[in-house]
Amino acid sequence: MQRNDRDDRLWEEGLAIVRRLEDAGHRAYLVGGCVRDRWLGRPLNDIDIATSAKPEAVMALFARTLPTGLKHGTVTVMEDGCPFEVTTFRQEAGYSDGRRPDEVAFVLDVNEDLARRDFTFNAMAFASGGELIDPFGGQDALRAGVVDCVGDAAERFGEDALRMLRAIRFAAELGFEILSDVWDGIIRQRGRLKQVALERIGAEWDKMMAGSGPEQAMHYLFKSGLLACVKEPLPETFAQAAERYRLNGSPREWNVWGASSADESSLGNLLSLPALPETDLRWAALLAGMKVGAADAEALLRTLRLGGQRVGRIAAAVGLFARLDGRGEDELKPAWIEAALDYGRAAAEDALAIREACGEPWEEMRAWLEAMPVASVGELDVKGDELSGYLRQPPGPWIAETLRRLLAEAASGRLPNEKFALLAAAKESNAAQRESRREERR
């Protein structure tokens, strides 16, 4: 992967901070993810620096700093508008909440600091003179394409349960294998995931869905059984589908777009997730393929604390797919139009985008959508007060019900979107309903 000017600039600015600390008599190194990604030639997200300097010394050296985590030795240094996290070398002890250390002790040796980290490829440090400090074999893990823990995997996951999800995310994002002892550590410690806030779990899961290997991430996530161990119950339809995957692999019916190549022993529709350009479309394809349904999709995503606007978009596309499930050819057009009206044109466009990105376009349905003359009640050429006046009935819930019926007729092309045609249809419909009610009373 080619490095770009931005990455080179970030790297050099990080090294400049390291040298500034060294000039003041401290030891300092670039550490963690930036070293790993630089080694791999991947884009840099941020630059972290570890130093022997205490936070107050760091703040005294640089003009613009933010005390972002003084308790844990972290100061954010701002240079040219970019944040650089500078953290004092430290050891950690006691993880009673399964997430954060109870005690932090500052130390003077970078190797002691690296020893507290999660994975070997995140436990490397880069010196200003070009030396790579790699006491735990991070380069070997990168060359081999594996996720390996610093020390005992079960111990690392016992300290911070979120690391189990991070192991899966790194494996999927980098295209790496999870070593057997690391996988065993996940299985042994998965019950500790109950200690992690759902917001943190949702953020990690969302990163997996946004990454370059979402299908592999979901495979590991479901196979591990981790999702059965979160602190709040997930919707039953989702939990059952995930458990079926854990036991049997991806079932044939997960293939939401009906591809003929689906195989009971394969990952089914998961294999097509990377083809989708947007994270929300990936979520929608996954949950629709799992037959979760709109209400449970919404419940799941809200449990994971995703933003409300995103939840609504994803759930709408899932609901649209569910509405079409099992429909025969003669039912498909009216069901599609009704679903597009109920969930919105945007949800229908999302469903079409999912199908098209995965090589199974719904050309006929796209034509139906484009041919719809109206897609919402607001586009009708008649308003509620006009209905009330024309039919000589006081306003009430009947108005919304009547407008919805008129919308379905106009959207399907069975009724022109013209005021007098709509009013006449409303009069006829209401008369038919009154007659039906009279018949029921007899």
pLDDT band at 255 (very low <50, low <70, confident <90, very high): low
pLDDT band at 223 (very low <50, low <70, confident <90, very high): very high
pLDDT digits (tens, 9 = 90+) for 40-78: 999 999 999 999 999 999 999 999 999 988 888 999 999
pLDDT band at 258 (very low <50, low <70, confident <90, very high): very low
pLDDT digits (tens, 9 = 90+) for 103-154: 778 899 999 999 999 999 999 999 999 999 999 999 999 999 999 999 999 9
Write down the pLDDT at residue 442. 63
Asked if the model's pLDDT at residue 320 lies above 80, the reply is yes
Write down the pLDDT at residue 326. 83
Write down the pLDDT at residue 257. 42
Write down the pLDDT at residue 3. 58
Tell me the residue type at 113: D
Can you say whether the dihedral through the CA atoms of 312, 326, 409, 411 is positive or negative?
A: positive
Q: What is the topology classification, in CATH, of domain 1-141?
A: Beta Polymerase; domain 2 (3.30.460)
Asked if the model's pLDDT at residue 230 lies above 90, the reply is yes
The Cα 254–Cα 266 span in angstroms is 10
Triad 42, 43, 45: Cα angle to 5°: 125
Write down the pLDDT at residue 267. 36
pLDDT digits (tens, 9 = 90+) for 172-183: 999 999 999 999
The Cα 318–Cα 162 span in angstroms is 28
Can you say whether the dihedral through the CA atoms of 309, 315, 318, 323 is positive or negative?
A: negative
* CATH code for the structural domain at 145-232: 1.10.110.30
Can you say whether the dihedral through the CA atoms of 319, 325, 330, 331 is positive or negative?
A: negative
Asked if the model's pLDDT at residue 231 lies above 50, the reply is yes
| H-assigned helices in 99-235 | 110-114, 138-144, 153-159, 162-174, 180-189, 198-210, 214-224
pLDDT band at 295 (very low <50, low <70, confident <90, very high): very high
Write down the pLDDT at residue 317. 96
DSSP at 438: H
Neighbours of 324 (CB within 10 A): 17
Asked if the model's pLDDT at residue 265 lies above 50, the reply is no
Write down the pLDDT at residue 430. 79
**47: CB partners within 8 A, 6+ apart:** 10, 11, 13, 14, 30, 34, 82, 84, 85
Record the pTM.
0.87
The DSSP element (H or E) to which 178 belongs, if any, is strand 177-178
Asked if the model's pLDDT at residue 211 lies above 80, the reply is yes
- Ranking 259-268, 345-354, 420-429 by mean pLDDT, the lowest is 259-268
- Whether the CB-CB separation of 179 and 147 falls below 8 Å is answered with yes
* Dihedral-angle region of residue 179 (phi above 0 means left; psi in -120 to 50 means alpha; beta otherwise): beta
Triad 139, 166, 74: Cα angle to 5°: 80
| Averaged confidence pLDDT in the chain | 89
Asked if the model's pLDDT at residue 1 lies above 50, the reply is no
- Whether the CB-CB separation of 393 and 427 falls below 8 Å is answered with no
Asked if the model's pLDDT at residue 39 lies above 80, the reply is yes
Asked if the model's pLDDT at residue 346 lies above 80, the reply is yes
